[in-house]
Structure 1
Amino acid sequence: MESIRYERLQETLYFETMDNGLQVYVLPKEGFQKTYATFATKYGSVDNHFQVEGQEEVKVPDGIAHFLEHKMFEEPDGVDVFSKFSVKGASANAFTSFEQTVYLFSATEQIEDNLETLLNYVQNPYFTKENVDKEKGIIGQEIQMYQDNADWRVYYGLLEAMYQKNPLRIDIAGTIESISTITKDTLYECYNTFYHPSNMMLFVVGGVDPATVMEQVRSNQKAKDYQPQGAISRFFEEEPVAVGEAWHEVRLPVSEPKCLLGLKEVKNGLTGEALQRRTLTTKLMLDLLLGNSTQLYQTLYDEELISDDFGSDYSSTTEYGYSMMGGDTRDPKLLVKRLQEEINKVVATGFSQDAFDRALRKKIGGYLRMLNSPESIAHEFTRNRFRDSDFFDILPIYESLTVEDVNARLREHMNWDQLAVSVVVSP
């Protein structure tokens, strides 16, 4: 077991790679009663075309990562996994994103028993034709339910409008048509590829002893027979620079229209700290531009074009990047027009040093507060680690940023040729 000391944060991270390739990280938090654990695989909804080194190329149906997550809770003995956690005083859950699938629990007692349950059920798949067919109906209902959810539709409508080829544009759950072709054999193929320990990470944070956790995981993994597996290659079609659709409109019964603007970026080639730095710079830029204490926000609020649900965000990987901004509005077309007008004024002048300093202090404060949340630490650490970056490097990156960096990013990113708009309006 090795460790890294982050002196300024007063945190020590312990880590070890097991013989089968599983990466294990433990962050002890003295005085914390709650322990939070995530068992994650670098496998998300976009990973539908792949190849394991030495094997044939494979294409699988959309939605299979999410389908697999659902099926992992099926046990051969028929006992519900959630009840196993519950009787040990733990709360468990799981989720699938574009990039990863995460299984988790939180508890204040019987941590060793709950950790054993987490490791064992995720590493013991049980798929049959009968339980797979049954799940198709359940997930099909989930897909249909979200078709009536205006917030979901405006968000995915934006991704569909921006991207023409990247599987990011496809709902994480897939479609009713795509999940209908999933079989237990395709599930096992994806499971055996992406749930190999060498593609997974265990992160435990809270009132735990690192040596005890590591010894338990070593013992657990040694009892399981995993053969070495080659590297996994993921394939993506070349994404055109242009957005697919400038204006995407859906009609649903809503009390007020919903509007999201997206600025699309394509493959940037950035990895690790460079990608992390761009992401942090862009999020800081958006805060300076559209945060609820900015003049732009107040102007649009006074014009009754936005409400307090208005917000912005940025997401990026090596394969894609996009910012989005918006919320409920009385007039989507006018909101788009006014946002462009006001943002162009800011681009022309740039941000002041004083405004930058205030926004940066706010970001650093938010990051430091996050260190008191085991849940936030676990999810942010895992997400960053799968992108070859370090969650604990965020503070020094923030402190290295300058107002010139943020102004350059503002001018680069605010390219209206890359704009797509998604709206949900009443019939």
Structure 2
Amino acid sequence: MAATRLKRRKFPTINEEFYYNQLENGMTVFLIPKESFKETLAVMSSRFGSFDTNFTVDGKKKSYLAGIAHFLEHQLFEMNNQKDAAYEFTKLGAESNAYTTFDKTIYYFSTADNIKKNLDLLQEFTSQINFTDMSIEKEKKIITQELNMYQDDSDDYLYQVILSKLYPQTSLAEDITGNKDSIDKLTKIT
């Protein structure tokens, strides 16, 4: 594959610039050089969030459980080789994490060392998925704890109640993490 030149975009009002290019697979890559920074931050963003529960594929409608994007965010860290991506980043001297919003899922790491190896790991673990009954049950417990934590936080709880009243019968009415019922129903074929 031939190398493609990155395009440059300047923001003179804040004295910043970045470089970008869209790959053949549709992914857009951004590079924001920061000469004085010691650390590198890499982010992989997918346009798949909690809104995305209904799809039409080959003329057939398919619905997924509330919280499926958040579940996949967690599940991707369990790599096909039975390794934990977060632990692998740590071994390479990086901090990593992920989060899901209404319209996207974000995976990222920051490091001062092993940038290429960490980039390879980010690409590897976000482009595969490993579903086992054991890993699904493990993640269901973790996500249930996370949901309980959010419901114990009065600000988070009130925010979700307001959304559910303003937008009933929509994806906005559901917590990004799903609900206890949708989490319980998660299986390999969900």
TM over 0.5: yes
* Aligned match of 2:63: 59
Give ranges in structure 1 of 5+ residues lacking alignment.
Answer: 187-427
Pick aligned residue for 1:91 from 95, 119, 123: 95
Residue 56 of structure 1, CA deviation:
1.9
CA distance in 1, matches of 2:188, 2:45: 21
Query: Which is higher, the Rg of structure 1 or of structure 2?
Result: 1
Mapping 1:386-425, distance limit 5 Å: none
* Aligned match of 1:42: 47
CA distance in 2, matches of 1:140, 1:9: 42
* Aligned match of 2:82: 78
* Aligned match of 2:162: 158
SS of residue in 1 equivalent to 2:55: strand
Residue 11 of structure 1, CA deviation:
2.6
Alpha-carbon distance change, 55 to 118 in structure 1, aligned in 2, over 3 angstroms: farther
CA distance in 1, matches of 2:9, 2:118: 26
SS of residue in 2 equivalent to 1:144: helix
CA distance in 2, matches of 1:23, 1:120: 17
Q: Does 1:142 align with 2:146?
A: yes
CA deviation profile, 1:92-126 (whole Å, cap 9, x unmatched): 00001111100000111221111111111111211
Pick aligned residue for 1:101 from 70, 85, 105: 105
Residue 78 of structure 1, CA deviation:
2.6
CA distance in 1, matches of 2:153, 2:34: 39
Percent sequence identity is 37
Residue 129 of structure 1, CA deviation:
2.5
CA distance in 1, matches of 2:152, 2:123: 36
Residue 80 of structure 2 contacts residue 128 of structure 2 at CA under 8 Å; is this kept in 1?
Answer: no
CA distance in 1, matches of 2:121, 2:64: 29
Alpha-carbon distance change, 183 to 12 in structure 1, aligned in 2, over 3 angstroms: same
CA distance in 2, matches of 1:138, 1:66: 11
Q: Does 1:10 align with 2:30?
A: no
Give ranges in structure 2 of 5+ residues lacking alignment.
Answer: none
* Aligned match of 1:390: none
Residue 27 of structure 1, CA deviation:
1.2
CA distance in 1, matches of 2:145, 2:17: 45
Alpha-carbon distance change, 11 to 145 in structure 1, aligned in 2, over 3 angstroms: closer
How many equivalent pairs are there? Answer: 185
Residue 55 of structure 1, CA deviation:
4.5
* Aligned match of 1:33: 38
Q: Does 1:20 align with 2:25?
A: yes
Amino acid aligned to 2:86: F
* Aligned match of 1:349: none
CA distance in 1, matches of 2:10, 2:146: 44
Higher helix proportion, which one?
1
CA distance in 2, matches of 1:83, 1:149: 29
TM-score, L = length of structure 1: 0.41
* Aligned match of 1:203: none
CA distance in 1, matches of 2:138, 2:67: 16
* Aligned match of 1:401: none
